[in-house]
Structure 1
Amino acid sequence: MPRVLIVEDDPDVRKAVELGLRHQGHEVSAAGSGEEGLEHLRSFHPDVVVLDLMLPGISGLDVCRRIRARDQVPIIMVTAKGDDVDVVVGLEAGADDYVVKPVQARVLDARIRAVLRRQDAPVSAVVRPRTQTHGDLAIDRAGLQVTHHGEAVALAPSELRLLLTLSASPGQVFSRQQLLEAVWEHSYHGDIRLVDACVRRLRGKLGELSGDPRYIQTVRGFGYRFGPR
């Protein structure tokens, strides 16, 4: 049974989401503030965090950053409709996906299960040697471990799956839509900002220089490809 931590300050919304997810078969812990959410994170050990960006005290963005500084648990952020800036900033802060209020339990359940599938089985379609080495970057596809200059790289589920998808076919150009479907399991109506934000986070963790990426290259007008130089 997936363990879901909800961090939402509106008691009515919090209760509705909690009841909806319990009905969908999840074990749920709910917090009404960022501070409380961080405490629950330590005691409840969730499989997924559903995090509202608009919180009193510690903001949802700060909570997201604090979680990411020490934990790679999947984070699904909740935003108000039309808050495009919040979406981009939240994704840059480390969120794996997002849903827009009013939150529908079935939609949220689908996103939760998708992000857990990304964590448990990042890529299975392409068979490759257990470990691929690209210069200073080593990707253990079976053990789901990534090292750079011999140091382990902590990747969130979406970041790991993105890297595994791109590196499975070096040189192949993937459109943003293809990556949305392969990594996030989003349909045609998915948000390509998920892809761009995740690429930027992944590049940062791999030590990519701004404007001169070594591993994940932008093909303008098309998408991205993996091609170490």
Structure 2
Amino acid sequence: MTRVLVVEDDPQLVRALVINLEARTYDVDAAPDGATALRLAAARQPDAILLDLGLPDMDGIEVIEGLRGWTRVPILVLSARNGSEDKIRALDAGADDCMTKPFSMAELLARLRAATRRSDTAPPAAAETALVTTDEFTVDLVAKKVRRGGRDVRLTPTEWHLLEILISNPGRLISQKRLLQEVWGPTHGSKTNHLRVYMAQLRRKLEADPSHPRYLITEPGMGYRFET
């Protein structure tokens, strides 16, 4: 049975989440604050964590950083903060996905299923998987080659670096800031036009319909993800 840790200080929302998760055969633990969340995560070893950023004893970002010191468990952030900055900070700290309150329970459950499915099927060294295959193209991370329709696809070093980061984190939302800093350096964290240009080039080379991408997905104002 899949175990979920709900980290939330709103009793009504906790109750709604517990009812909906248990109705779908999840095993649920709940923590009202960050300290309890870190203790329960270590003791109960959940398969996924639903985390509110606005906790009474510490910021949710601190909880993510504490968890990422020892576990790769999927973390889905639930935030009442409308601005993208906090979500970007959460993603940079190691969160796997973000949703803004109020949210659709159906969408939350779908994202939770996707997160746990990726976690269940990922090999121990997912970031080092040699070959990634889609219906449209194949990427060899060791040989640093891309093939589509039986032919090699020529990528620039920058295009390759972007693709490599995204493909090494399948299904995970990677923030614009992280991509910019890893590809262009720490002084380029705000130059989002760089990303738009190079992501458009990658889509033209890899997607069947670049204007409606299937694999290289944009989360507006937040970042990009690779979906298989």
Instruction: Name 2:198's counterpart in structure 1.
Output: 222
| Rounded Cα–Cα distance in structure 2 between residues aligned with 1:121 and 1:199 | 25
Instruction: Name 1:86's counterpart in structure 2.
Output: 86
* More divergent stretch after superposition (106-115 vs 44-53): 106-115
Instruction: Name 2:212's counterpart in structure 1.
Output: none
Matched residue SS, 1:57? coil
- Check whether the contact 2:53–2:59 (CA below 8 A) recurs between aligned residues: yes
- Check whether the contact 1:24–1:109 (CA below 8 A) recurs between aligned residues: no
Instruction: Name 1:71's counterpart in structure 2.
Output: 71
Instruction: Name 2:103's counterpart in structure 1.
Output: 103
Distance change in 2, residues 1:11/1:52 (3 Å): same
Distance change in 2, residues 1:144/1:14 (3 Å): same
| Rounded Cα–Cα distance in structure 2 between residues aligned with 1:3 and 1:200 | 35
Q: Give me the identity figure in percent.
A: 29
Matched residue SS, 1:87? helix
Matched residue SS, 1:112? helix
Matched residue SS, 2:69? helix
The alignment of Structure 1 onto Structure 2 pairs a total of residues equal to 173
Instruction: Name 1:118's counterpart in structure 2.
Output: 118
The letter of the residue matching 2:125 is Q
Matched residue SS, 1:183? coil
Q: How far did 1:195 drift?
A: 5.0
TM-score by length of 2: 0.62
The answer for unaligned runs of 5 or more in structure 2 is 134-138, 147-153, 189-193, 203-228
Per-residue CA deviation, residues 26-72 of structure 1 (Å, 9 max, x unaligned), is 11111100011011101111000110000011211100110011111
| Rounded Cα–Cα distance in structure 2 between residues aligned with 1:56 and 1:64 | 15
Q: How far did 1:11 drift?
A: 0.9
The letter of the residue matching 2:49 is V
Distance change in 2, residues 1:101/1:114 (3 Å): same
Q: Greater Rg, structure 1 or structure 2?
A: 2
Matched residue SS, 2:197? coil
Q: How far did 1:211 drift?
A: 7.0
| Rounded Cα–Cα distance in structure 1 between residues aligned with 2:175 and 2:88 | 11
- Check whether the contact 2:91–2:175 (CA below 8 A) recurs between aligned residues: no
Per-residue CA deviation, residues 148-202 of structure 1 (Å, 9 max, x unaligned), is xxxxxxx6xxxx78x95765554555899xx69x9339xxxxxxx745356469x
Q: Deviating runs (4+, > 6 A) in structure 1?
A: none
**1:62 paired to 2:62:** yes
**1:145 paired to 2:121:** no
TM-score by length of 1: 0.62
Distance change in 2, residues 1:59/1:222 (3 Å): same
